[in-house]
């Protein structure tokens, strides 16, 4: 994929008079996104368990559950604690928690919560041993539900599918309740050309892993693939669950990869032009501590300004975004509030205490980013 500005995104309407930088979401678009993917997956007989690391918000998780999500996914114990405190009762921690010391105590406390259905990822027998000890699975406590991570070719975490049977059996023999297997098709993020094959890789890896578990005498109840770009492509036999996250808010990366349509982006940053003193660019008050430095090689700039499609956010320092205005193109005025679409919504949300929740440009409330900073 050639690096480019990407399709022009239809920015959510932003209320006037906000302090800047502000994190704005359009709840109507959020609800539509939650419904759309839920329906598409239901039509395929596949459950949706959205990844809440995208939004870290109990309110947004509630919208997903109201739209039929089967539960939520999180990436850390801290997110699980916050979501459980918020009343979410079915949580999968899709991460190979190494349960010793403080993490063992925290995992045990979550496992013991009344009314919470908790499951946890693992990708080694050693990690399973710590999980079993932490959850008291060998001492008469109800067994901890665990799901084995399989590497579909992403090359990050997860065991080779061909080893799934032996490792799952070892976990079962430790007293754990092995629910099934999961993949993350993160290699889809290499570019739009990688999405379809990443989805196929997930289905293939999960097919092999499922057979492996059956050979070991374990019938998988959860066969879970996950990423927004691969969400529909991976929703095929034997997969019975999808763990997409970014689909809810959208961002420039998702639009470039086909995971969101340009009119389905629900998130925007309101920023002010604070300086036009240096020729050729304007400075906005959204820098690296707002937009992050997340910029895949197939995107130009650290975010886009839909109202100024030729403008490029070419540098960011902590509180400054340097927006290059190509000669002959329109530029925003000093003092103007501009709407910025971030490249990657997940780390951007983690930099704010609250969402400005809107409907059609009208503020309806401030919603906390409840699990902000809960990265462990």
Please give the Cα distance from 6 to 243 (Å, whole number): 25
Q: Is 254 in the site for its own copies (CB under 8 A)?
A: no
Give me the least distance between CB of 10 and its own copies, in Å please: 25
Give me the least distance between CB of 66 and its own copies, in Å please: 25
Among 66, 293, 362, 366, interactor with its own copies by CB under 8 A: 293
Please give the Cα distance from 328 to 331 (Å, whole number): 9
Please give the Cα distance from 76 to 58 (Å, whole number): 15
Rg of the chain in Å (alpha carbons): 22
Give the C-alpha distances (Å, rounded to integers) separating 128 from 55, 105, 145, 165, 333.
29, 15, 11, 14, 58
Q: Is 290 in the site for its own copies (CB under 8 A)?
A: yes
The residues facing 92 across adjacent strands are 73, 119
CB atoms within 10 A of CB 232: 20
Q: Is 180 in the site for its own copies (CB under 8 A)?
A: no
Q: What is the dihedral of CA 121, 118, 50, 291, to 10 degrees?
A: -70
Residues in binding contact with its own copies, number by CB under 8 A: 66
With H, G, I as helix, E, B as strand and everything else as coil, classify residue 222: strand
With H, G, I as helix, E, B as strand and everything else as coil, classify residue 333: coil
With H, G, I as helix, E, B as strand and everything else as coil, classify residue 223: strand
Helices 77-85, 101-111: crossing angle, 10 deg rounding: 30
Q: Is 191 in the site for its own copies (CB under 8 A)?
A: no
Among 18, 196, 300, 364, interactor with its own copies by CB under 8 A: 18
What angle (nearest 5°) sits at the alpha carbon of residue 51, between those of residues 67 and 165? 115
Q: Residue 309: which of 272, 339, 337, 343 has the closest Cα? A: 339
Restricting to residues 141-170, name those near its own copies by CB under 8 A: 149, 151, 155-159
Q: Is 372 in the site for its own copies (CB under 8 A)?
A: yes
Q: Is 278 in the site for its own copies (CB under 8 A)?
A: yes
Q: Is 75 in the site for its own copies (CB under 8 A)?
A: yes
Among 26, 31, 81, 123, interactor with its own copies by CB under 8 A: 123
Please give the Cα distance from 101 to 88 (Å, whole number): 26
Q: Is 251 in the site for its own copies (CB under 8 A)?
A: no
Among 311, 322, 325, 341, interactor with its own copies by CB under 8 A: 322
Q: Is 212 in the site for its own copies (CB under 8 A)?
A: no
Q: Is 303 in the site for its own copies (CB under 8 A)?
A: no
Q: Is 252 in the site for its own copies (CB under 8 A)?
A: no
Find the part of the chain contacting its own copies (CB under 8 A) among 135-143, 200-208, 304-312, 343-351.
Answer: 343-351
Among 49, 55, 111, 130, interactor with its own copies by CB under 8 A: 130
Q: Is 315 in the site for its own copies (CB under 8 A)?
A: yes
Q: Is 317 in the site for its own copies (CB under 8 A)?
A: yes
Give me the least distance between CB of 280 and its own copies, in Å please: 8
Among 165, 175, 186, 332, interactor with its own copies by CB under 8 A: 186
- Which run of H or of E encompasses 63? helix 58-66
Among 283, 305, 311, 312, interactor with its own copies by CB under 8 A: 283
Q: Is 42 in the site for its own copies (CB under 8 A)?
A: no
Give me the least distance between CB of 127 and its own copies, in Å please: 7
Please give the Cα distance from 375 to 251 (Å, whole number): 21
Pair 32, 64: CB distance under 8 Å: no
Among 2, 17, 139, 328, interactor with its own copies by CB under 8 A: 17
Give me the least distance between CB of 35 and its own copies, in Å please: 25
Dmax over Cα atoms in the chain, in whole Å?
73
Please give the Cα distance from 281 to 302 (Å, whole number): 14
> Which positions touch its own copies (CB under 8 A)?
17-22, 53, 75-76, 95-98, 100-103, 106, 123-124, 126-127, 130, 149, 151, 155-159, 186, 272-278, 283, 285, 287-290, 292-295, 315, 317-320, 322, 334-335, 346-347, 350-353, 372-373, 375-376
């Amino acid at each position: 994929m050639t690096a480019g500005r990407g399709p022009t995104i239809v920015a959510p309407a932003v209320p006037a008079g906000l302090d800047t930088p502000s994190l704005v979401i359009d709840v109507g678009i959020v609800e539509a996104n939650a419904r759309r993917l839920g329906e598409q997956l239901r039509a395929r007989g596949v459950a949706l368990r959205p990844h809440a690391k995208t939004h870290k918000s109990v309110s947004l998780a509630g919208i997903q559950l109201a739209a039929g999500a089967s539960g939520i996914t999180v990436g850390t114990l801290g997110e699980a604690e916050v979501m459980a405190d918020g009343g979410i009762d079915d949580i999968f921690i899709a991460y190979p928690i190494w349960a010793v010391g403080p993490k063992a105590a925290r995992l045990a406390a979550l496992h013991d919560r009344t009314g919470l259905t908790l499951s946890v990822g693992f990708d080694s027998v050693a990690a399973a041993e710590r999980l079993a000890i932490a959850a008291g699975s060998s001492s008469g406590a109800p067994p901890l539900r665990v799901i084995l991570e399989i590497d579909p070719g992403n090359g990050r975490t997860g065991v080779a599918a061909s080893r799934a049977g032996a490792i799952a059996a070892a976990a079962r023999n430790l007293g754990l309740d092995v629910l099934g297997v999961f993949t993350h098709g993160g290699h889809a993020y290499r570019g739009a050309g990688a999405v379809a094959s990443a989805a196929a890789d997930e289905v293939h890896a999960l097919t092999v892993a499922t057979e492996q578990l059956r050979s070991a005498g374990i019938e998988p109840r959860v066969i879970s693939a996950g990423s927004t770009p691969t969400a529909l492509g991976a929703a095929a036999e034997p997969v019975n669950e999808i763990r997409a996250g970014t689909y809810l808010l959208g961002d420039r990366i998702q639009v470039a990869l086909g995971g969101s349509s340009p009119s389905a982006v629900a998130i925007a940053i309101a920023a002010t032009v604070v300086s036009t003193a240096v020729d050729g660019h304007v400075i906005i008050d959204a820098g690296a501590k707002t937009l992050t430095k997340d910029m895949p090689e197939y995107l130009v700039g650290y975010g886009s300004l839909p109202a100024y499609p030729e403008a490029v956010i070419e540098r960011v320092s902590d509180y400054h975004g340097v927006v290059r205005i190509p000669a002959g193109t329109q530029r925003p005025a000093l003092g103007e509030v501009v709407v910025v679409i971030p490249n990657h919504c997940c780390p951007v949300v983690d930099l704010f205490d609250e969402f400005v929740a809107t409907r059609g440009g009208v503020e309806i409330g401030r919603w906390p980013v409840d699990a902000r900073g809960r990265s462990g």
